[in-house]
Chain A
Amino acid sequence: MGENLFVGMAKGLRTWLESNHFLPIVTDVFLMLLAVVGVLGFLFLNALFLIYYDRKFGAWVQARLGPNRVGPRGIFQTVADTLKLFAKEIFIPNNVDRWPYLLAPVLIFTIPVMLFLVIPFGKGMVPYDLNLGVLYLVAVTSVETIVLWMAGWSSNNKYSLLGAMRSVAQMLSYEMPVIFAMLSVVMMAGSMKLSDIVAAQQKVWFIFLQPVGFLIYFIAVNAEFKRTPFDLVEGESEIISGPYTEYSGMNFALFFLAEYTNFMIGAIMVTTLFLGGWNAPFGWTFIPSWLWFIIKMYFVITLYMWTRWTFLRIRIDQMLNFAWKFLLPVSLVNIFVTGVGLYLYRMIRW
């Protein structure tokens, strides 16, 4: 019954608009806007909840209570924090490069929104089903580094610059394993369209066919989105807050929220590429597909948080060594093995 909730709503709205004789273009634009608003709402609400969840999870791991004052069990803590940051003065230091400095926090938030364009949230719930979805994901995620570099360089602060330099080094080295791991999935599915990839996992999820690829992807995405043990870009005890050092008030809050939305995207990508997307396991279709998607997303998020609270921050040279000397060769071998495997499989089949 819940399966067609959102799809049905969109369909009903379209028929109603069409029956009222609006211009077709008005109907299309209206529905597109509605989808954007829906995505933004999903993004913001989840990011707000994620910050709370992360703090609570950290508290569980460390045998503390965590936020517990604002609202029942402290659930409104992030809302209160955001409101506080809204009320704060946006302080602009004298020596910053004004335009890039002010543009960076705005741009950083556009990237996750752009990424949501191609994500299949449920059965028939793709904002825009691009046929180069995987390529699009890779391309847009790497743009984030440019924004961080903008923030770091324009801040005119050595800590910021160091953080930005680290983010570039991190992106350059971890982009390769990410792409190769994605490539192995694309080889299996035979398509770059995300909905095709999800459809290809109807029977067996790719995590079982590509366990090595999954591990590489899981680690490399963690590095891409700068979570512990790869949170060197921020490196709280070393370089204050990296590129965010000179930001205050809502500008900082935007960076902070973007960090968590990125984190969410990471989990969504793992879900879509390896955990079967919105496909229900064991044929349990009584739970709607979009709910399965969210459940899987939160499962992956929990895994990432677990990693975060049980590891420490590694050093830049160790991080680069790990990427170039371990992850990259392993992912190359994985691609080779996948190719040979697929070839043999087809030979036997036909």
Chain B
Amino acid sequence: MSTYTIPVGPLHVALEEPMYFQVQVEGETIVGLEITAGHVHRGLEYLAMKRNIYQNLTLLERLCSLCSNNHPFTYCMALEKIAGIKIPERAEYLRVIADEIKRIASNLFNIAMLAHIIGFDSLFMHVMEVREIVQDTKETIYGNRMDLAANCIGGVKYDLSDEKIKYLIKQLDKLKKPLEEIIDIYMNNKFVRARTEGVGILPKDEALRYGVVGPVARGSGVNNDVRVKSPYAAYDRLKVNVPLETGCDVRARAIVRLREIQEAINIIQQCLKDLPDGPTCIDYLPEIPAGEAVAKSEAPRGELIYYLRTNGSDIPERIKWRVPTYMNWEALKVMMPGNKVADIPLIINSIDPCISCTER
């Protein structure tokens, strides 16, 4: 049987964002893959070097929709490292809360997309309905359903009143039961298992070789969670259980994401329990001296690294970030071969690609 090429993308029904995959196929079996990127390049890296450090907060939040909180978060951490700012303790906790809420929403979205791709639209709708609880929470606390605008240099822009804390606890409790149901479906439903088990295998040694990050790595049994390996913000004071799976397949990655949602709820509850009093932000406008810094955080998709160099002016001299998808999409070349054409979108979705972040 001869091979032929199937184009998947740049615009394809199962891809949320433009990305071009040339898939070599033999009959219905995949034998090779070539990735071409560059369809949503918006010149954001250059743009960020034309704006001052305060404007960049707003700009970087618009880099990506689903991990939008992590970008300004990590950027602020890099800036604070250069300026040597110690942010108030309450702000650290509030940053963690904002981050974990975004993680819940992001992971639920990816899980819902998985259901859509395997043709289970009722489950897709159900998961999206559950996600609506998180969206409502975001809207109530931050005034926005997508971009939280929670971070600023030296702290956070929002505060949690007692009333809001009560509301947040209520919403998290509301989330728990449907979440357990969803986990049960993804783990035990025979049809979902049949479609996801043994698909897109990334063995542990290959995962280490490609340096994959986030749930993709944890689905292959590699624990490189930044929250545990090099804690930032308030994570050194919180107990974070990192869910690990050894299935190495699409199912394992989905379960890692689902378990992470449970863990995120846990973390937020811990935060709310020992939320210290005090200011939420430093009360002066900091001077940013010349210097350079690297900051990293755990985005919903994996490790996010920011490199920032300043020269004493208020415009950054160089700003660069390495997003999780950049590390993960190369591993698609290991996951794809040997699977069926029907699994292409499923495997692509399993690394939760965020093309807007990656191509800026």
Q: Which residues of chain A come closer than 8 Å to B48, judged between CB atoms?
A: none
Q: Mark B333-351, 1 if CB is under 8 A from A, else 0.
A: 0000000111111000000
Residue B191 at the chain A interface, CB threshold 8 Å: yes
Q: Which residues of chain B come closer than 8 Å to A235, judged between CB atoms?
A: 119, 342
Q: Which residues of chain B come closer than 8 Å to A228, judged between CB atoms?
A: 119
Closest Cβ of chain A: how far from B263's Cβ, in Å? 27
Return the chain B residue nearest A169 by Cβ: B28
Closest Cβ of chain A: how far from B350's Cβ, in Å? 14
- Measured between alpha carbons, how far is A312 from B194 in the docked complex, in Å? 10
Q: Mark A223-240, 1 if CB is under 8 A from B, else 0.
A: 000001101100111111
Residue B233 at the chain A interface, CB threshold 8 Å: no
Given A162-B28, A309-B122, verify A315-B345 contact (CB < 8 Å).
no
A238 in contact with B4 (CB, 8 Å): no
- Measured between alpha carbons, how far is A318 from B192 in the docked complex, in Å? 13
Q: Mark B104-122, 1 if CB is under 8 A from A, else 0.
A: 0000000000011111111
B344 in contact with A238 (CB, 8 Å): yes
B28 in contact with A312 (CB, 8 Å): no
B121 in contact with A309 (CB, 8 Å): yes
Q: Is the interface of B mostly helix, strand, loop or mixed?
A: helix
- Measured between alpha carbons, how far is A169 from B1 in the docked complex, in Å? 17
- Measured between alpha carbons, how far is A312 from B343 in the docked complex, in Å? 14
Residue B6 at the chain A interface, CB threshold 8 Å: yes
- Measured between alpha carbons, how far is A159 from B11 in the docked complex, in Å? 14
Given A237-B13, A309-B121, verify A158-B6 contact (CB < 8 Å).
yes
A315 in contact with B122 (CB, 8 Å): no
Residue A348 at the chain B interface, CB threshold 8 Å: no
B191 in contact with A162 (CB, 8 Å): no
Return the chain B residue nearest A240 by Cβ: B13
Return the chain A residue nearest B28 by Cβ: A316
Given A312-B192, A315-B343, verify A238-B14 contact (CB < 8 Å).
yes
Residue A310 at the chain B interface, CB threshold 8 Å: yes
Given A235-B342, A314-B195, A316-B342, verify A158-B4 contact (CB < 8 Å).
yes
Q: Mark A215-257, 1 if CB is under 8 A from B, else 0.
A: 0000000000000110110011111100000000000000000
Taking each of B5, B7, B121, B123, which has the highest tally of chain A beta carbons within 10 Å of its own beta carbon? B121
Return the chain A residue nearest B4 by Cβ: A158
- Measured between alpha carbons, how far is A228 from B7 in the docked complex, in Å? 25
Return the chain B residue nearest A64 by Cβ: B125
Number of interface residues of B (CB under 8 A): 30
Q: Which residues of chain A come closer than 8 Å to B344, judged between CB atoms?
A: 238
A62 in contact with B122 (CB, 8 Å): yes
Q: Which residues of chain B come closer than 8 Å to A240, judged between CB atoms?
A: 12-13
Interface residues in B1-52 (C-beta closer than 8 Å to A): 4-7, 12-14, 28
B129 in contact with A63 (CB, 8 Å): yes
Number of interface residues of A (CB under 8 A): 28
Return the chain B residue nearest A162 by Cβ: B341
Q: Which residues of chain A come closer than 8 Å to B342, judged between CB atoms?
A: 232, 235, 238, 313, 315-316
Residue A311 at the chain B interface, CB threshold 8 Å: yes
Q: Mark B171-202, 1 if CB is under 8 A from A, else 0.
A: 00000000000000000000110110000000
Taking each of A159, A236, A315, which has the highest tally of chain B beta carbons within 10 Å of its own beta carbon? A315
Residue B166 at the chain A interface, CB threshold 8 Å: no
Closest Cβ of chain A: how far from B249's Cβ, in Å? 14
B14 in contact with A237 (CB, 8 Å): yes
Return the chain B residue nearest A63 by Cβ: B129
- Measured between alpha carbons, how far is A240 from B120 in the docked complex, in Å? 16
- Measured between alpha carbons, how far is A309 from B115 in the docked complex, in Å? 12
Q: Which residues of chain B come closer than 8 Å to A236, judged between CB atoms?
A: 13, 119
Closest Cβ of chain B: how far from A95's Cβ, in Å? 15
- Measured between alpha carbons, how far is A317 from B338 in the docked complex, in Å? 13
Q: Which residues of chain B come closer than 8 Å to A64, judged between CB atoms?
A: 125
B122 in contact with A238 (CB, 8 Å): no
Q: Mark B185-222, 1 if CB is under 8 A from A, else 0.
A: 00000011011000000000000000000000000000
Residue B126 at the chain A interface, CB threshold 8 Å: yes
Q: Which residues of chain A come closer than 8 Å to B121, judged between CB atoms?
A: 58, 62, 309
- Measured between alpha carbons, how far is A63 from B117 in the docked complex, in Å? 20
Return the chain B residue nearest A238 by Cβ: B342
Q: Which residues of chain B come closer than 8 Å to A318, judged between CB atoms?
A: 194
Closest Cβ of chain B: how far from A66's Cβ, in Å? 12
- Measured between alpha carbons, how far is A309 from B122 in the docked complex, in Å? 6
- Measured between alpha carbons, how far is A237 from B113 in the docked complex, in Å? 10
Taking each of A62, A64, A159, A309, which has the highest tally of chain B beta carbons within 10 Å of its own beta carbon? A62
Please pick, from B12, B122, B191, the residue contacting A314 in the complex, using a CB distance under 8 A: B191
Can you sample 11 A-B contacts with CB below 8 Å? A158-B7, A159-B6, A162-B28, A237-B14, A237-B117, A237-B345, A312-B119, A313-B195, A314-B191, A315-B342, A316-B342
Known: A62-B121, A159-B6, A236-B119. 14 other contacts (CB 8 A): A62-B122, A63-B129, A64-B125, A158-B6, A229-B191, A232-B342, A237-B14, A237-B117, A313-B118, A313-B119, A314-B194, A315-B194, A315-B342, A318-B194
8 nearest CB pairs, A to B? A313-B119, A312-B120, A62-B125, A237-B14, A312-B119, A237-B117, A312-B118, A238-B342
A positions within 8 Å CB-CB of B: 58, 61-64, 158-159, 162, 228-229, 231-232, 235-240, 309-318
